[in-house]
Chain A
């Protein structure tokens, strides 16, 4: 999830003489694009469903659990003790069959996968198998919505800070490249090979274990403070370390990439021309460097925004942050397919929508680009 991930869009076509009316051309392009994106999402989700079910393997586990639970509940019930063993056995079988039917385990897997797929595509996320939301609901939608704020808080603050600060620093470095800070950033950029959770461990060691100034993990003190101000302060304290580790692990590479990117654009002839004309460097940056790089910056920003959805699985796990990433991890551990699929379908839709919208945004920010052939 590097900030500077580059998604080249092969549909981005430089202006060609129009043969049709532009409205028809745009409509045709839009429909073809929407269709291919939709098919992509369908295939992606179907694959996820199949993998999440491991070709029926998870069904076996769930069936085993049902059988175990119902048999146990019968054995623990004193009122059925006097029953004839044959009758009791039939009763147990009946109950198991009923429970399997309730969870839809009696239909063949292909049909269930198809049903699952159509439900997921309609954002009908269904009910979780094992995981419950803190408010006690088993609705996948409610569970995901409950964890969303935590992830948005952590990822939002760190990623937005990362995005804007790295562009800011990159601009100032590209203005005077070769100076000490430029070399400093270049020298430190390989440190981004280290993932955020790893910095997290070091930060926990320093600030939580050794100096005892910040908490080890979680999102709020336990028990949570009653008044809102204390609550906010507590959340902020818990936010510092995971946020810092997310920022640290991509800051230098991000600044380095943007700086290189800006440098390539600042060596264009029209920038030299502008300098020769004596334009203030602020104007040059705004109109001659940032403007042509805008499509890439927007792409990165939109990918960043949808990246917020997936959360930071490892970082959240290491810091026990109750966000979407950790929920996904817990869901996998508990064979909770609806949550895995629910989280994936939302990401897929967000990604498809972003890719689709980006084509139009490119047209808006770059007059050279036209949609369709």
Chain B
């Protein structure tokens, strides 16, 4: 206990170790928060739910905070509807069951880039006669543009940019820029825009509601991908996945390697010989190819890959290193004493041999974490990521296969890449410092 506290004190003398510890601490906190705030099933639903989950988001939108670094502002996305009261709705009853529904929504537009798209989602209830809707847009320079008139069914979606009639009326190539510019200008006209929706229902019990969605150029904290998915989710869920994979894999391999090396060194003879031979066979096996084959042929589940990774990484060169040290330790006096009082082999292995190696184990364990974190990401990048879980590697793969770097969607690659980098470096730096604390023989300068 005392030695542990001393080691910890020594560790804190290294600024890099403090930085590493901080990174690890933040990552663990984020991982715990994520798993509690967005449970697994919810995460999977939000990641693979389909257009219903993502329709409010723009496509290929960088994160909203780039506006702080840019002198030209990108329009932000928003969604409002009548049930949350942001679209004001007034029902004026008329004769013969006829009633007029007036809905208005005003918003400030003070950006330098046009939005991607604007949409209306209408829902209504009626028995026979469909309600009728007309939409108008009031621009900051007090022009009133008639957008469209149409009858709506139970559910109706109106996309501004897809309306050929509107495009013809505006005499423009694209609807959205034409709506947001003054007649003689070509930059967005800033100011207050007002949407006026006038609906008519023809039955007493008939009702109607509307939702207005503006797809801006930027979205949320992390931006969106090609399927309009919010990248915050995979970035957050990537943390527990990467940590779990890295930690379990490195702990599994180093502890099993150590136990097997101890068994080999203790029993010697054919057990030792067998372990040596297995290690040599394992050297010949193409590790990556086998992992990829398992991913392609068997299962892409992250747990299967994790198991295979551990199995293939047990019998590596490290086993020889540990074995050499165990052979030395085996000859020490206290082992002889234990043998003399009749301790069993398993007792000696687990209580006398292995604890001696913990100072060697901890740094190498921490140092091997990044390799496993990146292994998972690497497999995901070549298309063998877990099919269900959202992870960092999968974001990079999506970005790569959609030519993100080529088309200039840098945020899409950079966000997961930077997180991977921070995670990898955090553990690597900590591992280096631990190595110096626990193995002072190797300490230089």
Contacts and interface: CB of A to CB of B under 8 A. Distances in A.
Contacts of B16: 187, 190
Interface string B258-288: 0000000000000000001100110111101
B286 A347 contact: yes
Contact of A329 (B284, B321, B382, B420): B382
Contact of A314 (B286, B317, B382): B382
B445 A54 contact: no
A223 B9 CA distance: 62
A202 B406 contact: no
Nearest to A45: B284
Contacts, number: 142
A340 B289 contact: yes
Contacts of B288: 313
A209 B405 contact: yes
A47 B285 contact: yes
Interface string A193-218: 11101100110110011100000100
Contacts of B374: 193-195, 198
Nearest to A58: B297
B293 interface: yes
Contact of B425 (A5, A47, A194, A333): A194
B317 A201 contact: no
B349 interface: no
Contacts of B428: 190-193
A87 B413 CA distance: 58
Interface string A47-75: 11001101001100000000000000000
B408 interface: yes
Most chain-B Cβ atoms within 10 A of its Cβ — which of A189, A209, A351? A209
B444 interface: yes
Most chain-A Cβ atoms within 10 A of its Cβ — which of B320, B374, B382? B382
Nearest to B323: A10
A356 B381 CA distance: 37
Given A8-B321, A193-B425, A205-B405, A347 B284 contact: yes
Contact of A205 (B381, B410, B420, B442): B410
A244 to B, nearest CB: 16
Interface string B145-189: 000000000000000000000000000000000000000000000
A204 B445 contact: no
Contacts of B371: 193
A194 B317 contact: no
A193 B381 contact: no
Interface in B385-411: 396, 400, 405-406, 408, 410
Say which size band chain B's interface belongs to. Answer: 35 or more
B289 A344 contact: yes
B405 A197 contact: no
Interface residues of A, number: 61
Contact of B420 (A40, A198, A328, A332): A198
A198 B297 contact: no
B286 A177 contact: no
A41 B284 contact: yes
Interface in B401-435: 405-406, 408, 410, 413-414, 417, 420-421, 424-425, 427-429, 431-432
A92 to B, nearest CB: 28
A10 B405 contact: no
A352 B284 contact: yes
A310 interface: yes
Interface string A133-164: 00000000000000000000000000000000
B102 to A, nearest CB: 49
Contact of B424 (A194, A216, A314, A318): A194
A59 B410 CA distance: 43
B296 interface: yes
A300 interface: no
Contact of A177 (B276, B281, B377, B445): B445
Contacts of B252: none
Given A193-B428, A343-B289, 18 more contacts: A5-B317, A37-B280, A48-B285, A51-B294, A54-B293, A186-B444, A190-B425, A190-B428, A192-B428, A195-B374, A198-B377, A204-B405, A216-B405, A216-B406, A328-B289, A333-B296, A344-B286, A351-B283
In order of increasing CB-CB distance, the 7 nearest A-B pairs are A44-B284, A190-B428, A193-B370, A193-B428, A348-B284, A54-B297, A209-B405
8 contacts: A40-B284, A48-B285, A54-B293, A193-B371, A198-B421, A329-B382, A351-B283, A352-B284
Interface of A: 5-8, 10, 36-37, 40-41, 43-45, 47-48, 51-52, 54, 57-58, 177-178, 182-183, 186-187, 189-195, 197-198, 201-202, 204-205, 208-210, 216, 260, 263, 310, 313-314, 317-318, 328-329, 332-333, 335, 340, 343-344, 347-348, 351-352
